[in-house]
């Protein structure tokens, strides 16, 4: 069957592909520590009980019809209050858009701003920007980052690509690395964006910034920073992506919110409406009530974050212990989100069966087979498959699973020549 050029050239999610292979092995009886998907095992990390009760009550109250195109007003009011309280950001309800998680908001941002051939700049590694560029026929510019800056892009790395570009896509805390921008680092990027926009002719598209802060409430002793608080002039150019999916372990509840310049948000509202990508009304009603109670939100976050941090710290310590024993591994200290960045520098090594591990995917599948441990190579996030760095996501593993996994990894790596 003939399909469109776009459909015929789509590349599926590498993360989902790995996850599906792991799930198939588990279905056949293998016990694998699955550190692939950026999701939560709801038996380990359930959503807040008060939110669950609120959702059930909303259905009992027949909140089952279409929600407003931009989201239930009560939720947009609650989000407006949350932004003021948590981030010192002042956005009215007409500058806030609710959708079914963050993905429709990201896609709508691309569709609202990008014409075919426009340039989009994003760091490598980062999540899915290469695919959104493909979907919108944009010119993708993936800027390689490095361990020295915790894989967060710097102004010096980004600025050479600004001339004529339409969108800069950033995320902090960053998926896949679990690292964050520092204040000075983000200020320098904002200053470079503002400088670029001042240089553009009247009527020329500005350089916009899409700032994904979906993990902003999941940080560990680090202060989350955002462009508009640091540089108020960025307000005209910044579209924020945010929501409840990660901070409440509510990935399946599908309530996200974007905010930014009202005229752009209004266009995004129409796009989300045409997609029908609204968050379910009952979930919106319940989320509005849940976030009104700051004490219950903080109580949940404190407990939730501690469990995540314990798992990340155990994984971080485990790989540091391996490094101290002479194994060719490294780990970047976790700052936020549910991810640890790990270097497993065994490309080119040979397995006991004589197979040469040619790239990061080979290393990953060797560990799945020999150590029952599944990671995601940075090649799934826009880097070359020769890069020996990996993402480990702790949301679907219990702490004991992580502790039990480390000796298996040690044994598997010790077999390589």
The CATH number of the domain holding residue 82 is: 3.40.640.10
Provide the pLDDT confidence category of residue 15 given band limits of 50, 70 and 90. Answer: confident
Do 331 and 385 have their domain in common? Answer: yes
Name the phi and psi angles at 361, rounded to 5. Answer: -65, -40
Distances (CA, A) of 169 to 21, 109, 193, 198, 377: 30, 10, 12, 20, 21
- Structural domain of 24: 5-45+298-414
Do 237 and 313 have their domain in common? Answer: no
> What pTM, to 2 d.p., does this model score?
0.96
Percent of the chain, pLDDT > 70? Answer: 100
Do 170 and 33 have their domain in common? Answer: no
CATH number, residue 376: 3.90.1150.10
Q: Which of 227, 261, 293 marks a domain boundary?
A: 293
Q: How far apart are CA 398 and CA 41, in angstroms?
A: 9
pLDDT tens digit string along 266-306? 999 999 999 999 999 999 999 999 999 999 999 999 999 99
Q: How far apart are CA 112 and CA 169, in angstroms?
A: 14
pLDDT tens digit string along 162-200? 999 999 999 999 999 999 999 999 999 999 999 999 999
Do 273 and 330 have their domain in common? Answer: no
Do 404 and 260 have their domain in common? Answer: no
Q: Which of 273, 293, 313 marks a domain boundary?
A: 293
Do 397 and 277 have their domain in common? Answer: no
Provide the pLDDT confidence category of residue 263 given band limits of 50, 70 and 90. Answer: very high
Do 37 and 89 have their domain in common? Answer: no
Q: How far apart are CA 236 and CA 280, in angstroms?
A: 30
Do 343 and 314 have their domain in common? Answer: yes
pLDDT tens digit string along 46-69? 999 999 999 999 999 999 999 999
Q: How far apart are CA 403 and CA 75, in angstroms?
A: 40
Do 191 and 330 have their domain in common? Answer: no
């Amino acid at each position: 069957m003939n399909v469109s050029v776009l459909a015929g050239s789509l590349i599926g999610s590498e993360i989902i592909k790995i996850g599906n292979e792991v799930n198939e092995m588990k279905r056949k009886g293998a016990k694998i520590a699955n550190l692939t998907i950026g999701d939560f095992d709801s038996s380990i990390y359930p959503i807040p009980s008060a939110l669950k009760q609120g959702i059930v009550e909303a259905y009992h109250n027949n909140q089952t019809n279409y929600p407003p195109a931009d989201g239930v007003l009560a939720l947009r009011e609650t989000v407006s209050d949350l932004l003021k309280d948590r981030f010192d950001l002042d956005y009215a309800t007409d500058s806030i858009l609710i959708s079914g998680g963050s993905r429709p908001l990201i896609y709508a941002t691309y569709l609202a701003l990008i014409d075919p051939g426009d340039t989009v700049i994003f760091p490598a590694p980062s999540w899915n920007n290469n695919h959104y560029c493909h979907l919108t026929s944009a010119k993708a510019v993936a800027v390689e980052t490095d361990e020295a800056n915790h894989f967060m892009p710097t102004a010096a790395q980004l600025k050479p690509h600004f001339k004529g570009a339409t969108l800069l896509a950033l995320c902090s805390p960053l998926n896949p690395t679990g690292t964050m921008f520092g204040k000075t680092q983000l200020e320098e990027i904002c200053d470079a964006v503002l400088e670029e926009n001042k240089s553009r002719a009247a009527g020329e598209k500005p350089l916009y910034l899409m700032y994904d802060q979906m993990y902003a409430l999941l940080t560990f002793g680090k202060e989350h920073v955002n462009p508009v608080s640091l540089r108020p002039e960025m307000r005209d150019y910044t579209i924020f992506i945010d929501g409840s999916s990660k901070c409440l372990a509510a990935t399946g509840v599908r309530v996200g919110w974007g905010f930014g310049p009202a005229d752009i948000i209004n266009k995004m509202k129409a796009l989300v409406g045409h997609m029908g990508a609204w968050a379910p009304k009952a979930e919106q009603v319940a989320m509005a009530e849940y976030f009104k109670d700051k004490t219950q939100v903080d109580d949940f976050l404190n407990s939730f974050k501690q469990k995540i941090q314990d798992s990340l710290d155990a994984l971080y310590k485990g790989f540091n212990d391996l490094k101290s024993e002479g194994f060719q591994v490294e780990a970047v200290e976790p700052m936020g989100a549910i991810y640890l960045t790990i270097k497993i520098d065994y490309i080119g090594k040979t397995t006991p069966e004589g197979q040469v591990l040619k790239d990061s995917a080979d290393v990953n599948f060797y560990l799945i087979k020999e150590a029952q441990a599944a990671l995601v190579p940075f090649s799934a996030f826009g880097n070359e498959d020769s890069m020996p760095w990996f993402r480990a996501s702790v949301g679907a593993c219990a702490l004991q699973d992580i502790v039990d996994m480390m000796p298996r990894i040690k044994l598997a790596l010790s077999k390589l020549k």
